[in-house]
Amino acid sequence: MSSSFRTIELSDAPFESQGLRFLTVKTPNLEGRGDICLYVPEVDKDIDNLPIYILLHGVYGSAWIWAMKGGAHKAAEKLINNKTIEPAIIAMPSDGLWGDGSAYYSHHSKNFDNWIVNDVVIAIKENIPEAKNSNSTCIGGLSMGGYGALSLGAKFPEKFKAISGHSSITKLEQMTLFVEEPLEEYTNNNDLPDVIDCIKSNQNRLPKLRFDCGVKDELIKPNRLLHKELNKLNIEHIYEEFEGGHEWPYWIKHVEKTLMFFDEFS
């Protein structure tokens, strides 16, 4: 089968472990290469339609971080083995590796949004046999990745069955809490900088939506505000608060909620 990409590299099975695989793709959307870490569960050889659950990382991280700091593949494996969820592929792409974080939309002539929404899914379906005929994709993330998931899920509702955010940035200006790049580096090419604006643009055809935040998180007030704004618009969603802050112990604990939520609608 011909590839949609000029070059693509896939890790070799003898050197893989814990169900993790790695893809590197060259794409015009990034004007270069992007990485995808994948968890591919063991299933019967004739299964080729596993759903794809995308998890977006936060600032400073890359494709490896959801697995190697968050254990997302272990969470998925546990839930699959105890039959809490059906088998699914967990896709953990890089954000495009611009600055401290790209925020997952187009700027500086790079289409970070199309990389996630289109390239990641195409690369998986073309190179992972278990996903060849997948027809179900969900998107989630933490912090900047939560911003990406909520924004991209709302802007491209036809692409996703469900959206989930943990400790999400809700307005682009909140990136300044984490990155050294000035805000104008992001805003010069962005018409919809706030999650609520993205949601309003497609509020009648949104995927299923949930998000949560720790009560000690510096982003708790923005998340509470988004919850109130969604209620005012009568947009169906789930919002939850838990103990914890903007930290990996929180995300490690609650990523299972994302995976179980996705399973409901895949």
How big is the chain, counted in residues? 266
> CB neighbours of 106 closer than 8 A, spacing ≥ 6?
112, 113, 114, 189
Tell me the mean pLDDT in the region 61-71. Answer: 98
Confidence band for 130, pLDDT divided at 50, 70 and 90: very high
> CB neighbours of 218 closer than 8 A, spacing ≥ 6?
177, 245, 246
pLDDT digits (tens, 9 = 90+) for 243-256: 999 999 999 999 99
Burial (CB count <10 Å: 0-12, 13-18, 19+), residue 235: middle
In the block, tokens 């996703």 appear at 160
> CB neighbours of 197 closer than 8 A, spacing ≥ 6?
none
> What is the rounded end-to-end Cα distance, in angstroms, of the chain?
27
Q: What is the mean pLDDT of the chain?
A: 96
Cα 133 to the center of its chain, rounded Å: 20
pLDDT digits (tens, 9 = 90+) for 222-248: 999 999 999 999 999 999 999 999 999
pLDDT digits (tens, 9 = 90+) for 169-216: 999 999 999 999 999 888 876 666 799 999 999 999 999 999 999 999
H/E run at residue 260: helix 248-265
Cα 209 to the center of its chain, rounded Å: 13
Answer whether residue 144 shows pLDDT above 70: yes
In the block, tokens 């494709």 appear at 63
pTM (predicted TM-score):
0.97
In the block, tokens 């949104």 appear at 206
